A = this chain, B = another copy of it.
Amino acid sequence: MKHKNLIDLEYMTKDELEQTIRMAGVIKQRPDVYSHACEGKIMATLFYEPSTRTQMSFQTAMMRLGGKTIGFDNPMNSSVAKGENLKDTIAVVSGYADIIAMRHPTEGSAKAASLYSSVPLINCGDGGHFHPTQTLTDVVTLNFEKGRLDHLKIGLCGDLLNGRTVHSLIKTMSHYEGNSFVLISTKELTVPDYIKEILEKSHCEYEEVNNLKDAIADLDVLYMTRIQRERFPSEEEYEKQKGVFVLDMDKLKLAKKDMIILHPLPRVDEIAIEVDDDPRACYFKQAEYGMYGRMALIVLLLRAEGSFVFELPDPIVSVQHKCSNPKCITNDPQQFYLPKNFYKKNDRVFCDYCDYEIN
């Protein structure tokens, strides 16, 4: 059985991703053609943890397609969220809505919800696990602004250890020929090993550096991320180092004229306000482009034909195994009913919900 859900961008084929990006471009150019594409359709935005920006982006996307939205944004205030298991809420809501966009603080919750939804479901973030429409936003922006997804030198700067958007972008861009990566962070906040494995396996060049100024000159793309004070070993370390990872006009002077600056937003102070007026600053446009990416995704998921079907790995059911990730939805006692699904890859076993490796 194949689901028309978007749990992670990795479950899209390259063709499907490119189809989505192409359609985002068409919608941007001719919004009028799509302004009734979802007329009479309803999207439920179920935000078990608030994320106003993401929720507004989805609501706007649906509305600009002629559709309507219901939903909630405040788990504390929601009787649905309180005391009812995920299965029942999804079963009921998929009787109301034509498509569901869900954000949930627990890892693997998107996959779990998709099992019980009779309508397409989009993962808008399941804890620290996946957030595929952010990465879609990023690649749509690259395509709009650079005109290609290959042969780009991409700098990623900030907290590369904990940022799921960074990992997801690297994974996606590693599928395209000729891309190389400059990973700019403190040595405590470098990318995890599994990301380096992916880069090596796909023969992408990459280097790890600890200074933005030295790295900026050759970049086609600079992807900035928040660097959180509490991630540094000490307050002194933070004060000493933080300037090295802040983009200001002094550093930007050294960059190429056609480099573009991306940021998933919200920013704290890693990009100086003065940079906003530079034509290379693309992060506000990026938010708008994300809306076009989401519009394309909604249209493709709602299309009746089977031409756009994400391939998910076939799970194996195993009652012997138990996911060892304490943040996984299968370890929430209220969701005890979830089937014990795992999958095998290279002789290793992973949780089918949160993709954690089982020992």
Listed in ascending order, the chain A residues whose CB lies under 8 Å from chain B are 35, 40, 42, 44, 50-53, 56-57, 59-60, 63-64, 68, 70-74, 77-81, 83-84, 87-88, 91-93, 95-97, 265-268, 273, 276, 284-285, 287-288, 291, 337
- A56 to B267, Cβ gap below 8 A? no
Q: Which residue of B lies closest to A68 (CB)?
A: B63
| Residues in B neighbouring A56, C-beta threshold 8 A | 44, 70-72, 80, 93, 96
Alpha-carbon separation in the docked complex, A83 to B64 (Å): 28
Q: Which residue of B lies closest to A39 (CB)?
A: B35
Alpha-carbon separation in the docked complex, A276 to B90 (Å): 13
**3 smallest A-B Cβ distances: which pairs?**
A95-B288, A52-B80, A84-B266
Residue of A74, A97, A285 with most chain B CB atoms under a 10 A cut-off: A74
Q: Which residue of B lies closest to A60 (CB)?
A: B96
| Residues in B neighbouring A53, C-beta threshold 8 A | 79-80, 92
| Residues in B neighbouring A52, C-beta threshold 8 A | 72, 78-81
Q: Output the least CB separation between A100 and chain B (Å).
A: 12
Copies of this chain, whole number: 3
| Residues in B neighbouring A96, C-beta threshold 8 A | 56-57, 60, 287-288, 291
Interchain CB contact (< 8 A) of A266 among B59, B63, B72, B83? B83
Q: Which residue of B lies closest to A81 (CB)?
A: B52
| Residues in B neighbouring A40, C-beta threshold 8 A | 35, 64
| Residues in B neighbouring A42, C-beta threshold 8 A | 60, 63-64
| Residues in B neighbouring A291, C-beta threshold 8 A | 95-96
Q: A60-B96, A63-B70 are in contact. Are A91 and B284 (CB under 8 A)?
A: yes
Interchain CB contact (< 8 A) of A74 among B74, B83, B337? B74
Alpha-carbon separation in the docked complex, A268 to B334 (Å): 10
- A273 to B87, Cβ gap below 8 A? yes
Q: Which residue of B lies closest to A51 (CB)?
A: B79
| Residues in B neighbouring A60, C-beta threshold 8 A | 42, 70, 96-97
A-B contact pairs, 24 of them (CB 8 A): A35-B40, A44-B56, A50-B78, A51-B79, A52-B78, A52-B81, A53-B92, A56-B80, A56-B93, A56-B96, A60-B70, A60-B97, A63-B68, A63-B70, A74-B74, A80-B266, A83-B268, A84-B266, A87-B273, A87-B276, A88-B265, A91-B284, A91-B287, A92-B265
Q: Which residue of B lies closest to A118 (CB)?
A: B284
| Residues in B neighbouring A337, C-beta threshold 8 A | 273
| Residues in B neighbouring A71, C-beta threshold 8 A | 56
Interchain CB contact (< 8 A) of A284 among B80, B92, B266? B92
| Residues in B neighbouring A64, C-beta threshold 8 A | 40, 42
Q: Output the least CB separation between A61 and chain B (Å).
A: 9
Q: Output the least CB separation between A344 and chain B (Å).
A: 27
| Residues in B neighbouring A77, C-beta threshold 8 A | 50, 73-74
